[in-house]
Structure 1
């Protein structure tokens, strides 16, 4: 519901003043004989209730446009003033007054049950609100149709507008039943309020406490009044309870106003927060303590944003989830100089006070930025420690793999060669030359196979073509051996520092291996270029996507690139292919411009020889 603009608020306020003036005219000159001793307190009290609800409701409506509490307060105020129509000595006035007589109590129930949002969120809330409205205008309409009269103009206005002791006597059974239902409704309201209070956190209790307390007092006064009627207590006592309910109803909007004013006082405490941050010892715990004290929420948690890694971490540098915040929790993202620096996870009640949270964020911006930098350093240190552990583990695994390949491959062939040579030696002693010749040929084949396996093993450890001819020819050979169709669209025309060439080569090698294993791609495109002093290696495929940097191979690439001062970025939407981009600063390795390509790379024959 959109809040009214300035003109709309002025029109509603003018209508409220007119309704109050109309209520006074109806009470004093509507045709009934109302003594001044009763007219004055009745009019003053009801005008105070009506105008306070309308005024504070407009303020709450404009301040919280997404909240229905403000509109409900305005409606309640007009309902209080509208019931004065019964003071007009006419059939129309009587009918309107009767129909509006209890409406303000129904709106009050709606407001209290759904406070502070104004929205019924549970079945119990919705049922209570519906029952409250059914016991007001619809029930009054039934009584009106059953033949209620407007009374004699010479007496007091009907429908209990002026609070006076009722005539002694036995209560009507229908009225007793209605009052019992009203008492049950009041009990449901108290149960809802109690449950709301129990579930609320510290910050929410502080925000809703005055409003709920005032509403509970009104309900208790109404229950006392209706109980006195049901059990037949003397009318003079019932009058006291009725006046008490009206007086508390006047105070209740002031309790809501106090909540609004206290929010402004909380924002004024930001200056004290800045002083405390400057006077106390630095540190994340000190920062959190000050935020808790300023926001009045002991559950506040701070997460720091690391833009390069695209994630939030805690003060120790460990990744922390921020969304979804969980039930009863909310997240406020904090920025400084247009850049995100942190996120506050706090009680959902503070989401209704964005100005307070923003003021706190602005006041603590420098401290938050400092702690963010500390958290980033700690995160980097943790990553370095984890990277070292993974590098050691990877090196051990590589050594075990080389040992296994040598044992299962070339070593077995060389053992066979030794056996064949011994057999050939035995045949020479018996001069079986044909058998010796066959054994020697088999020995040569075994030696050739062992040489090929050793060459493949050496190429996997350290490709000779990369060392001899440079990155371009090595990438071309790598693409030709790929099980997935691959093409090198661009490569540096000269030589680069060895560390950069090796890192780029293994990035492409791992990218092709991942594409072959997981992407189901039809083609892989390899683009390697130097831009603004940075070697950019891009491997893109048209496969199924869904890759992530937590995989074993890509995690190793991240470590290798980090050791060279670079970084790895991955874009891999499901069904949209995978794009792997590695960036390696050339200056970080002490390199300048690419060196001229050696002659071996310019001569296809020599390049082919180097490849073998």
Structure 2
């Protein structure tokens, strides 16, 4: 719903004032006699109820244009005044007044059932609202036209209970009247249950917002229930009169309770100044900063996460990565300073209806949040360094275990075979002929050659000799030639770099080629190495299935290796579109 324009607000307020004056004029000069002792209190209370709903409704409509509560309150106020048409002593006034006499109760049911959004949100609310409207003008039309209800004649007060006074004569409602009142009692009992259920299921921040309206709503419903129950139980008219007066008093107070709820957000903004003073007094962080924001916004469930632009991720106050995404029952408010995002507040969605309050808190705590963001960034870097060291140690231990296993299963077994062959040849030196000895020595030689090949292959995996002797370009071409997937090496700068830089680039390409061959199902891999400022940019692209996991052990190990030189590794691997591994390695 669009925000209420000042011109529209003025027009509605003027129409409300005119409706109240017209209602008062109809009561005083409409043609019926109103006892002098009832005229003044009736006018005061009725005008107070109607104008209270219209006035507070305009405030709610202006402040919360996203909610229809304000509109419903304004409509209720006009419906309250419209029922005074019955006070005009004409046939038309009687018909209009009877048809509109209960509409305000239907709007009241709609308002209570859907508060605070003003929109029907589930089946129970839809049933309540529908029944509420059916019990007003449609039912009154049946009584008026189908059942032959006649206009009350005489010199007494206006008909249809417009003036609250004991009825003359016997108090004897018809059976159909009792049935209707029974339905009304059930309706308002159900309404009371809906209000209580909504309040009970609300979070702390939303419950604080609902409490003033819910308490007033409960008073209104309970008062109407007692009044209607009094009719069902045939309680004397004098008691019903007292209940009717009390119901109108509550109707005056309830919009004021809603107004208190609206003003409470203004009072909450005064807490921002206390927050600033508390932060300026050397508030310990990080735990109490989050707690101070939660106390100021009255949301114990509030969470604060800091944005790290270099990593493109959010972290909690301890520096641990956190996922920030919209979820049901939670709202996000991003905090900015000098146009740059610094943090996000995850809070109760009811606070989204008070953006000015949240913005004031964010502005007041902006400097503290920025300072704490820097601390969180340092903590995150420290956590990453610690995790990286642990992974490096684990990778080194794993590499040693693999070397040990490869030596044991490969070259060591071959050397054992060589030793056995030589020992057998030695024992047969005097008895065997030259052919048998030659066969044993040939077997030993073959096993020894195989052991040497395996040792060379193992040494190449540990440290590429070609890289040391010839440089990065020839070493990468050698990797491409041995790759099971067709690999093309593009341009590689024809110069030497520091050993650590060349080794890092080499192993990035080696791991990327191995992943493309084992997991990607690629048909081709392209390797490209370029100078990028004071460093090297290595990119390995394949046309495989994509979907590579940057958190896997291989790629994570590469990221740690690149990070030790102050570089950065990124993996772009959308499913079905291949994988690109990009490493930027400083050389200065």
TM-score range, shorter chain: over 0.9
Work out whether 1:169 is the aligned partner of 2:180: no
Assess if the C-alpha contact under 8 Å between 1:89 and 1:153 holds in 2.
no
Q: For the aligned residues, what is the CA RMSD? A: 2.1
Match of 2:416, SS state, is: helix
Where do 1:287-436 residues align within 5 Å? 287-327=289-329, 329-425=330-426, 428-430=429-431, 432-436=433-437
**Number of the residue aligned with 1:609:** none
**Number of the residue aligned with 1:95:** 95
State the Cα deviation string for residues 341-381 of structure 1 (Å, max 9, x = none): 22222223222212111111111111112222222222222
Distance 1:190 1:47 in 2: 26
Match of 1:490, SS state, is: coil
Distance 2:98 2:365 in 1: 57
* TM-score, normalization by structure 1: 0.91
**Number of the residue aligned with 2:136:** 136
**Number of the residue aligned with 1:184:** 186
**Number of the residue aligned with 1:33:** 33
State the Cα deviation string for residues 288-320 of structure 1 (Å, max 9, x = none): 232232112222222222233333322222233
Name whichever of 40-49 and 104-113 sits farther off.
40-49
Assess if the C-alpha contact under 8 Å between 1:50 and 1:81 holds in 2.
yes
Deviation of 1:173 (Å): 1.5
Distance 2:436 2:233 in 1: 125
Structure 1 gaps, min length 5? 588-612
Deviation of 1:202 (Å): 2.5
State the Cα deviation string for residues 262-301 of structure 1 (Å, max 9, x = none): 1012112211110011114421122123223211222222
Work out whether 1:576 is the aligned partner of 2:573: no
Distance 2:454 2:523 in 1: 29
Match of 2:322, SS state, is: coil
State the Cα deviation string for residues 6-28 of structure 1 (Å, max 9, x = none): 33333333332332233233323
**Number of the residue aligned with 2:218:** 216
Match of 1:309, SS state, is: coil
Name whichever of 472-481 and 394-403 sits farther off.
472-481
Where do 1:480-499 residues align within 5 Å? 480-499=481-500
**Number of the residue aligned with 2:533:** 532
**Matched pairs, number:** 586
Deviation of 1:492 (Å): 2.1
1:238 equivalent among 234, 237, 240 = 240
Deviation of 1:503 (Å): 0.8
* TM-score, normalization by structure 2: 0.94
Deviation of 1:425 (Å): 4.2
Distance 2:130 2:153 in 1: 34
Where do 1:9-48 residues align within 5 Å? 9-48=9-48
2:195 equivalent among 187, 193, 196 = 193
Assess if the C-alpha contact under 8 Å between 2:4 and 2:65 holds in 1.
no
Match of 2:310, SS state, is: coil
Distance 2:581 2:52 in 1: 64
Deviation of 1:426 (Å): 5.1
Assess if the C-alpha contact under 8 Å between 2:52 and 2:77 holds in 1.
yes
Work out whether 1:265 is the aligned partner of 2:287: no
**Number of the residue aligned with 1:593:** none
Distance 2:491 2:158 in 1: 95
**Number of the residue aligned with 2:250:** 248
Deviation of 1:326 (Å): 5.0
**Number of the residue aligned with 1:71:** 71
Q: 1:577 to 1:9 in 2, by over 3 A?
A: farther
Assess if the C-alpha contact under 8 Å between 2:171 and 2:236 holds in 1.
no
Name whichever of 342-351 and 106-115 sits farther off.
342-351
Match of 1:477, SS state, is: helix
Assess if the C-alpha contact under 8 Å between 1:479 and 1:487 holds in 2.
yes
Assess if the C-alpha contact under 8 Å between 1:280 and 1:286 holds in 2.
no
Where do 1:533-572 residues align within 5 Å? 533-572=534-573
Assess if the C-alpha contact under 8 Å between 2:24 and 2:43 holds in 1.
yes
Distance 1:86 1:227 in 2: 25
Deviation of 1:3 (Å): 3.7
State the Cα deviation string for residues 578-610 of structure 1 (Å, max 9, x = none): 2222122222xxxxxxxxxxxxxxxxxxxxxxx
State the Cα deviation string for residues 502-528 of structure 1 (Å, max 9, x = none): 111111111111122221222222222
Structure 2 gaps, min length 5? none
Q: 1:400 to 1:243 in 2, by over 3 A?
A: same
Assess if the C-alpha contact under 8 Å between 1:31 and 1:153 holds in 2.
no
State the Cα deviation string for residues 162-195 of structure 1 (Å, max 9, x = none): 2221233222221112112211112112212222
Name whichever of 527-536 and 150-159 sits farther off.
150-159
